[in-house]
Amino acid sequence: MGNWDKISLCKFQLIDLINANTAYDDFEKVMQSACVVFDKTEYEMNRMKPKKALRYAGKIRKIFQSPIEGRRASRIGKYRMLYDVSQVTFGQYVELAFFFQAQVTHAHRILASMSRPVFGKYKTAGHRRRAAYFLKLSVETVMTSVKAIQESLKQFNQEYHWLFGAPEEASAQGAKHDHFNQRYGWQYSASAIADYERIPLDQVYAMPVRQAFNDLAFLKEKVKYEVRERDRLMKEHQMRNNGR
C-alpha cells in the first residue's frame, strides 16, 4: 500500500483528526496514522522491531508527500454524480454550505447531497445511506469529486457575490456578525422566502436554487429600499420640525 487510492475516506478522516491533535508531535502523528492505514493497534506498533516500525513510518510519509489526484467521475459505483451547483435545489445548496465548513469531516455527506441513482432523480430520502456508501470508498475518488463540487459552488457563489452578508445598513449595527445570523442565517432566509412566496417551508427547500436566490435578491433590495424610505421620511420630519 502506498497510494491514496488504497485508503478509504473513513481512514482519511481519522488521519485528519490525528494531524489536528496538538497533543501529538510529528513523529507520533506519523505512527498513529500508520496504525490507521495498516490496521495496526498502538500496542502492536509499539511491540514491533524498530526497523519494521520505521518502514511503516516511511511508507506513511511517502503517502503524505504525494498529492491526492484523480479524474472526476460522472458515475461513482451505483450513483450518478451531480457537479453543477446551479442546477440543484435550495435545500441541497444549504446542505453544501454547511458541509463545506468542514470539508474532510463531511466529504461523504457532500457527495450524498450531490448524487442520485443512475436511473432515478435526486431525492433527499436516502441521504444517510448514500453517505455511508461513500465513506467506504477511496479518499482519492471521493476528494476528487468533492474538489469539483467545490469549484462549481465557488463559481455559483461568485454570480451572487453581492447577495452574501447582511445589507450594509444593517451591518453597521453588527448584524453580519450576530450569533443568530451566523447560526440560523439560512433558516431565516428560507423563512423569508416562504413568506414572500406564500408556500410551506419544505417547498422552499425543494425549489431551484436560482429561484430561491432571485427571491433573496429581491428581498434584500426591498430591505435597502425600506431603510432609505425610513431615513428620508425621518429627515423630512426633522426638517419640518426645525422650520417651525
* Same-domain check for residues 154 and 167: no
In sequence order, the 6+-apart residues with CB closer than 8 A to the CB of 21 are: 29
Cβ atoms of 99 and 109 within 8 Å: the answer is yes
Domain range for 209: 163-242
Rounded average pLDDT per 10-residue block, the chain, 244 residues: 81 95 93 93 90 91 87 92 97 96 97 94 94 96 96 95 67 56 82 96 96 95 86 77 68
* Strand ranges, E, within 55-114: 75-76, 79-81
Q: Which residue has the cell 461523504?
A: 108
Domains held by the chain: number: 3
> What does pTM read for this prediction?
0.86
pLDDT value, residue 1: 44
Tell me what pLDDT residue 225 has. 87
* Rounded alpha-carbon distances, angstroms, from residue 191 to 73, 158, 181: 36, 24, 13
Q: How many CB atoms lie within 10 A of CB 120?
A: 10
Cell (9 digits) for 11: 481512514
Domain match, 170 and 147 both: no
- Calpha distance 140→137 (Å, rounded): 8
16, 32, 65 - which closes a domain: 65
> Which candidate, 79, 88, 140, 143, places its Cα nearest to that of 115?
79
95 and 25 fall within a common domain: no
